[in-house]
Amino acid sequence: MSKLHVSAVASLDRMLRTHQADQLDPSQLRALMARPRIDTSSIFKTVTPIIEKVRTEGDAAVREYTAQFDRVQLQSVCVRIEDLPEPHLSAEVTAAFDTAFRNIKAFHEAQHTPSIEVETMPGVVCRRVSRPIGAVGIYVPGGTAVLPSTTLMLAVPAKIAGCKTIVMATPPRPDGSITPEVVYCARKAGVTHVLKAGGAQAVAAMAWGTASCPKVDKILGPGNQYVTAAKMALQNSEAMVAIDMPAGPSEVLVIADAGANPAHVAADLLSQAEHGQDSQVVLVALPGVDLNAVEAELSKQCDALPRNETARKALKHSYAIRVAGQQEAIEFSNEYAPEHLIVNVEDAESWLPALDNAGSIFLGRWTPESVGDYASGTNHVLPTFGYSRMYSGVSLDSFLKKMTVQNLTYEGLALLGPHVAKMAEIEGLDAHRRAVTMRLGLQ
């Protein structure tokens, strides 16, 4: 029996399996870091006919699938935001959303970068300029939890970027209406159209366009495995649509030292475990961490959660791992590449230069992941499943495209042209060469 297996068996009575890093060989560590397996082949088989039917039948297919999956009979599939009734919320609720809106807006407005202009040679000027993506689709989940915060996270930067069409897709309530909190955030953030559908059918409607839903150029936002599969399939189709990133179930990795409050550590782990039964939470425990105290808090706090069954199922494929010190903790975290990384240690700021792979990082004793999920200003649409090694979370740049521009004078072409002509000759592209030499009167 492997050391990894022995460790798991020894901790069957705990909510979190516990492992010792120095007792695991490299292959066992890799196995430990692997996310819960998803049968992608069966998921793609499910979403492919949905995508095709929406392409050919449009709104009728969206209605059919919404009735089948959500048990909702839609009167209208996609409407303009101004056609929805004004939501009536309490002052306390609107104050919370307004605070989040201001902070998200401030952080994303600061991400504007000026155009770049460089004269690479005399008479040769190169520039890089930004333009908004014309039409974007934002997906706001609504299955097991209502997520108006996601509306703000996606629509606010889209509006700042200057996107003219912002289609929000979100599952309807049983009566076919949209959750008032989502409508409030959509209105405030600049959404132009609301598609009353979720799942693969909503993604397909935005990608292909229907009689009521504008076709978009890019689709962004989190979703379940069917939403993710639809996004990935459509970006490689004739729909000509881009996506933000591949994503999977939500996850958090918490690094804690002996000074971390066990109640806070447990609360941070549960804040992601309650997202879904396929979520994964990982505790990297530095020397001195009282795992028994963390376990006791996990049990007590989980029992008090409305979504405790969901959290318990997520904890079944989650774990804690003891490490020898800071370096081992950083190496494990960088290799795991979490969506959310909480560094609950003394002098957490000093850890940042060595942290390379994470969607979003939360430093110090007083920075729960929840603040980033809602209102600190950073974006909560992040790469999961280890994709933070090569993908960034949603930002202002997600809604922009970059164009390069060059402008040469005759003198500039006279300096640069002979080199271009020679390179074209070497590559056997004579028309390229002649486009230069004819201008310079060289033939």
- Catalytic residue set: 339-340
DSSP track, 282-307: EEEEPTT--HHHHHHHHHHHHHT-TT
- Beta strands 17-20 and 319-322 are parallel
Question: What is the distance between the alpha carbons of residues 405 and 124, in angstroms, rounded to a whole number?
Answer: 11
219 φ, ψ to 5°?
A: -120, 130
Distances (CA, A) of 40 to 69, 244, 248: 20, 19, 11
- What residue ranges in 327-408 does DSSP mark as E strands? 340-344, 360-363, 400-408
- Distance between terminal CA atoms of the chain? 78
- What is the maximum span of the chain, computed from C-alpha positions, in angstroms? 85
* Cα 294 from Cα 266, distance rounded (Å): 6
Residue pointed to by tokens 């001195």: 288
Residue 380 CA to residue 371 CA, distance in Å, equals 10
Q: Which residue pairs from 349-358 have beta carbons closer than 8 angstroms and sit at least 24 positions apart in sequence?
A: 351/255, 351/326, 354/330, 355/330, 357/333, 357/388, 357/389, 358/253, 358/333, 358/388
Q: How many other CB atoms sit within 10 Å of the CB of residue 406? A: 10
